[in-house]
Amino acid sequence: MFAAATYRSRRAILAQAMDDIGLFPASPPSPMNYTANPHAYVQDSCFAYYFGIPQPFLVGAIDFDSGEAFIFGDEPTMDDLIWLGSATPPAEWAERSGVTHVLPYAELPAWLTKNRRGRIVHYTPPFRGTVTIQLSEWLGIPVPDIAQRASSPLVRAIVAQREIKSGEEIVEMESALAITAEMHAAAMRFSRPGVMEHEVSGAIEGVARAADRTLAYPVIFSARGEILHNTMHDRRLAAGDLVVNDSGASSQLGYASDITRTVPIGGHFDAKQRLCYELVLSAQKAAIEACRAGTLYLAVHRLSARVMMEGLVAEGLFRGDPDAIVETGAYALCFPHGVGHQIGLDVHDMEALGEDLVGYDHTVRRSELFGLRNLRMAKALKPGMVVTVEPGLYFIPRLIDRWEKEGRYMEFIDYEKVRSFLGIHGIRIEDDVLVTDGAPRVLGPGIPKEIGEVEAALSG
Ligand code: GLY
Ligand code: MN
Ligand code: MN
């Protein structure tokens, strides 16, 4: 945990922005197949942000009017001690969180009845069924209505606070990236013809586990990089494959990292791979450079698309004005996702609070265009935000066939020429970038991405 003062100050800032009461349930454990066999525990990130305690079966409450905070939780039972060894009483956790009021879990409904006095009880949209049911019981709201009655004012206040990272949060994110750099180095060492994808993805995950870290999200390690979130690892790598490795560790306090590199199996990019890789790398560098306070992230997205389209026009895959190719949405044939997202305690930070409330505001609405509608954030960047910058080029056979059959963007796209690049599959390059008052800062140690560096890492 951070020092108690961090959590006290975070709650005080939130209390200044809010009225009434806020409830923050900790995440319950997530069973794999029966209750006593859970997945690795991941705390709810709002609870983690405001209370920091890495334990389930707790609820945090903040009286926004008085500024007081409360923890509801029970003493460890003898069974807890015998089977789990966890002996930390809630009062001790609460102290580490700077909370002085500690009450038994079962007293939450009575506490609400006594303290509510007609006030609103704010909560964030739950993403776990058990939390939905608990909120329903505590607040007397029918289960089907819980999601829609989540508090927009609370979500907006949390987003405004959590999207600006403090110095100690950046230190956490860089500590995650230090492990992630080792994960990518291991992947480059292990990636060679004849090796199965799951052998490499296992080695990647092993680096995180050996460092007592968890993954921030399941490893994507695939020679079928055109399948954007492909978590299958079922192919044997062959010379000439390009493999997308999108993997990142969490820090000890649960902050995410999210890095993608694309590597040639056999150790060298061929001419076509080199051409496409350089386009993605140029787009990524231009996009990183554009991550300046006040710039719309939408403009960063468009810039990365335009850089790639300029190159593909020069190669004859697209024709016409690159700006028109971007404006009309034709580019999304080869770049159907957004340039990135915010990152923090969640790899897609705060996505559970509602993507539009996190990434869009009154100045910019989500596009309905294919591809662009997947952009998770479009609003202006602010100092202290951390965003990923992850443009990619993909050659997706069924999408190409569908668009050609439907006669889409015929004036801009040479479908035959595009098909001649199907062997590339997919290329993505992703870094985590801190927006500052001046130049953007790529977080973490350098992870090879220049062609020479990647080829050298593979041969090492
Ligand atoms: N690792 C998932 C993403 O890049 O969004
Ligand atoms: Mn990402
Ligand atoms: Mn990623």
Instruction: Give the residues surrounding ligand 1 with Cβ less than 6 Å away.
Output: 217, 246, 258, 347, 390, 430
pLDDT of res. 85: 82
User: For residue 178, which amino acid is it?
Assistant: A
Ligand 1 mutation target, pool 221, 227, 228, 246, most atoms within 8 A of CB? 246
Which residues in the chain are classed under CATH 3.40.350.10?
4-162
The closest residue, in CA terms, to atom 3 on ligand 1 is: 258
Regarding beta strands 121-122 and 441-442, do their DSSP bridges make them parallel or antiparallel, or are they unpaired?
A: unpaired
Residues pairing with 428 in the sheet? 392
Ligand 1 mutation target, pool 390, 394, 432, 433, most atoms within 8 A of CB? 390
Residues 228, 337 contacting (CB under 8 angstroms): yes
Residues 80, 86 contacting (CB under 8 angstroms): yes
Residues 415, 396 contacting (CB under 8 angstroms): no
Q: Which atom of ligand 1 is nearest to the CA of 428?
A: 4
C-alpha 63 to ligand 2 mean position (Å): 35
C-alpha 335 to ligand 1 mean position (Å): 14
Q: What are phi and psi of 28, to 5 degrees?
A: -75, 165
End-to-end CA distance of the chain: 38
Q: What are phi and psi of 8, to 5 degrees?
A: -60, -45
Q: How many CB atoms lie within 10 A of CB 427?
A: 27
Residue 66 has which token pair? 């008085």
The closest residue, in CA terms, to atom 4 on ligand 1 is: 258
C-alpha 257 to ligand 1 mean position (Å): 9
Name the fold adopted by 167-459: Creatine Amidinohydrolase (3.90.230)
Regarding beta strands 59-63 and 21-25, do their DSSP bridges make them parallel or antiparallel, or are they unpaired?
A: antiparallel
Ligand found nearest the CA of 262: 3
- Spatial CB neighbours of 7, under 8 Å, sequence gap ≥ 6: 1, 50, 51, 52, 97, 98, 99
pLDDT of res. 37: 95
- As a residue count, the chain comes to 460
Q: Which atom of ligand 1 is nearest to the CA of 388?
A: 4
C-alpha 343 to ligand 3 mean position (Å): 10
Residues 428, 391 contacting (CB under 8 angstroms): yes
CA distance 194 to 231: 19
CA distance 403 to 98: 57
Ligand found nearest the CA of 343: 2
Rounded to the nearest 5 degrees, what angle is found at the Cα of 375, between the Cα atoms of 370 and 377? 155
Q: How many CB atoms lie within 10 A of CB 452?
A: 8
Q: Which residue has the tokens 């949060």?
A: 169
Ligand found nearest the CA of 216: 1
Residues 231, 197 contacting (CB under 8 angstroms): no
| Mean pLDDT, rounded, of the chain | 97
pLDDT of res. 40: 92
CA distance 360 to 163: 13
The domain made up of 4-162 is a member of CATH 3.40.50.920: no
Residue 3 has which token pair? 């020092």
Which residues in the chain are classed under CATH 3.90.230.10?
167-459
Give the global pTM: 0.97
CA distance 293 to 44: 29
Ligand 1 mutation target, pool 177, 280, 348, most atoms within 8 A of CB? 348
pLDDT in tens, the chain (460 residues): 999 999 999 999 999 999 999 999 999 999 999 999 999 999 999 999 999 999 999 999 999 999 999 999 999 999 888 988 877 999 999 999 999 999 999 999 999 999 999 999 999 999 999 999 999 999 999 999 999 999 999 999 999 999 999 999 999 999 999 999 999 999 999 999 999 999 999 999 999 999 999 999 999 999 999 999 888 999 999 999 999 999 999 999 999 999 999 999 999 999 999 999 999 999 999 999 999 999 999 999 999 999 999 999 999 999 999 999 999 999 999 999 999 999 999 999 999 999 999 999 999 999 999 999 999 999 999 999 999 999 999 999 999 999 999 999 999 999 999 999 999 999 999 999 999 999 999 999 999 999 999 999 998 7
Residues 191, 207 contacting (CB under 8 angstroms): no
Rounded to the nearest 5 degrees, what angle is found at the Cα of 295, between the Cα atoms of 294 and 297? 125
Q: Which atom of ligand 1 is nearest to the CA of 229?
A: 2
Q: What are phi and psi of 166, to 5 degrees?
A: -85, 170
Reduce the secondary structure of the chain to three states and give it as a string: CCCHHHHHHHHHHHHHHCCCEEEEECCCCCECCCCCCECCCCCCHHHHHHCCCCCCCCEEEEECCCCCEEEECCCCCHHHHHHHCCCCCHHHHHHHCCCCEEECHHHHHHHHHHHHCCCCEECCCCCCHHHHHHHHHHHCCCHHHCCCCCCHHHHHHHHHHHCCCCHHHHHHHHHHHHHHHHHHHHHHHHCCCCCEHHHHHHHHHHHHHHCCCCECCCCEEECCCCCCCCCCCCCECCCCCEEEEEECEECCCCCECCEEEEEECCCCCCHHHHHHHHHHHHHHHHHHHCCCCCCEHHHHHHHHHHHHHHHHHHCCCECCCHHHHHHHCHHHHCCCCCCCCECCCCCCCCHHHCHHHHHCECCECCCCCCCHHHCCCCCECCCCCEEEECCEEECCHHHHHHHHHCCCCCCCECHHHHHCCHHHCEEECEEEEECCCCCCEECCCCCCCCHHHHHHHHHC
Residues 149-196: tens digit of each pLDDT: 999 999 999 999 999 999 999 999 999 999 999 999 999 999 999 999
Task: Please report, for residues 93, 309, 332, 420, the alpha-carbon distance to residue 415 in angstroms, rounded to integers and kept in the order given.
Answer: 61, 14, 14, 9
C-alpha 214 to ligand 3 mean position (Å): 15
pLDDT of res. 416: 98
